């Protein structure tokens, strides 16, 4: 029986996490693999996901996250970071990965690699960073769906100061930028938001067949 829609109706943006409940290593591995398998343009995955477990670092990040309690109370804090400046080496590494994974000769992939470089490397830096940041939202979608299947709560958060995250986590030195944040764990029984009816546009308003 397909439980996907049941899972989507179950999930919500958790406002209050139970700080005493932690995600098991097995479930965390499942969520990481779900993110790993996410779709991305060209399959390039131009991002890195930081899993912040250190309580001291999370306390540092909290004031720059509108002081949202989820940052410190959730079992885990995921910071999706995008690669700011796509260069040849990222695409070369991807071509090498394709060759190794599928048993291809990397030289035979040169035309495809050169095509990607022609479309991406020459873009203005701001456009590249915007494009790679968008890819992190695709990964977030897989996280939301996989977590709901396990009845693990996820709250996507855009209400934070990327520049401060970059500074605290040393992302600038790595050529990365904090794109979005997700807090992961288990809803607190006192979180009133879990009892609210989900509000969405009616199907007839949301879709139009042409």
CATH of the domain at 73: 3.40.109.10
Residue 123 in tokens: 């873009």
Mean pLDDT of 49-75: 98
List phi, psi (to 5°) of 196: -80, 145
Q: Is the pLDDT of residue 127 over 90?
A: yes
Quote the pLDDT of residue 6. 96
Structural domain containing residue 67: 4-86+123-206
Q: In Å, how far from its chain's centre is CA 182?
A: 7
Token pair 């477990």 in the structure block, residue: 53
Query: Which pair of structure tokens corresponds to residue 199?
Result: 């509000």
The answer to the question of residue 62 being in a domain is: yes
| Domain contains 148 | yes
pLDDT band at 2 (very low <50, low <70, confident <90, very high): confident
Cα distance between residue 74 and residue 184, in whole Å: 6
When pLDDT is averaged across residues 49-57 and rounded to a whole number, the result is 98
**φ and ψ at residue 92, rounded to 5 degrees:** -60, -40
| Whole-Å CA distances, 141 to 35, 63, 155, 192 | 8, 26, 11, 24
Residue 1 pLDDT level (bands cut at 50, 70, 90): low
Other CB atoms within a 10 A radius of the CB of residue 87 amount to 13
Q: What is the average per-residue pLDDT within 1-28?
A: 96
Please indicate, yes or no, if residue 102 is contained in any of the structural domains: no
The stretch 190-200 carries a mean pLDDT of 96
Give the mean pLDDT of 86-101. 98
Measure CA of the first residue to CA of the last residue in the chain; give whole Å. 32
Long-range CB contacts for residues 138-141, cutoff 8 Å, separation at least 24: 138/38, 138/39, 138/40, 139/35, 139/38, 139/40, 139/45, 139/47, 139/49, 139/80, 140/80, 140/180, 140/182, 141/38
Residue 38 domain-assigned (yes or no):
yes
Separation between Cα atoms, residue 196 and residue 191, nearest integer Å: 10
Indicate whether 101 belongs to any domain.
no
Please compute the mean of the pLDDT values over residues 179-203 and round it to a whole number.
Answer: 97
169 in a structural domain:
yes
User: Could you give phi then psi for residue 179, rounded to 5 degrees?
Assistant: -95, -45
pLDDT band of residue 149 (cuts 50, 70, 90) is very high
Average pLDDT over every residue of 42-64: 98
Q: How many CB atoms lie within 10 A of CB 150?
A: 15
Greater pLDDT, 2 or 8: 8
Q: Is residue 36 in a domain?
A: yes
The overall average pLDDT reported for the chain is: 97
Predicted local confidence at residue 161, as pLDDT = 98
Q: Is residue 99 part of a domain?
A: no
User: What's the total number of domains in the chain?
Assistant: 1
For helices 125-149 and 25-36, the axis angle rounded to 10 degrees is 140
């Amino acid at each position: 029986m397909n439980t996907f829609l049941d899972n989507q109706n179950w999930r919500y943006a958790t406002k209050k996490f139970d700080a005493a409940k932690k995600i098991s290593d097995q479930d965390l591995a499942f969520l990481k693999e779900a993110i790993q398998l996410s779709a991305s343009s060209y399959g390039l995955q131009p991002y890195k996901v930081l899993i912040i477990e250190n309580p001291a670092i999370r306390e540092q990040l909290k004031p720059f996250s509108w002081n949202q309690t989820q940052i410190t109370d959730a079992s885990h804090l995921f910071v999706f970071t995008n690669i700011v400046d796509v260069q040849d080496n990222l695409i070369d590494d991807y071509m090498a990965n394709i060759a190794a994974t599928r048993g291809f000769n990397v030289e035979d992939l040169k035309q495809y690699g050169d095509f990607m470089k022609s479309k991406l490397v020459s873009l203005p830096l701001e456009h590249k960073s915007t494009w790679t940041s968008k890819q992190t939202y695709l990964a977030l979608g897989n996280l939301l769906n996989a977590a709901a299947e396990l009845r693990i709560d996820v709250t996507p958060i855009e209400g934070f100061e990327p520049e401060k995250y970059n500074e605290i986590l040393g992302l600038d030195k790595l050529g990365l930028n904090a794109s979005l944040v997700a807090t992961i764990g288990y809803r607190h029984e006192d979180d009133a938001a879990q009892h609210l009816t989900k509000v969405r546009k009616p199907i007839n308003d949301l879709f139009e067949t042409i």
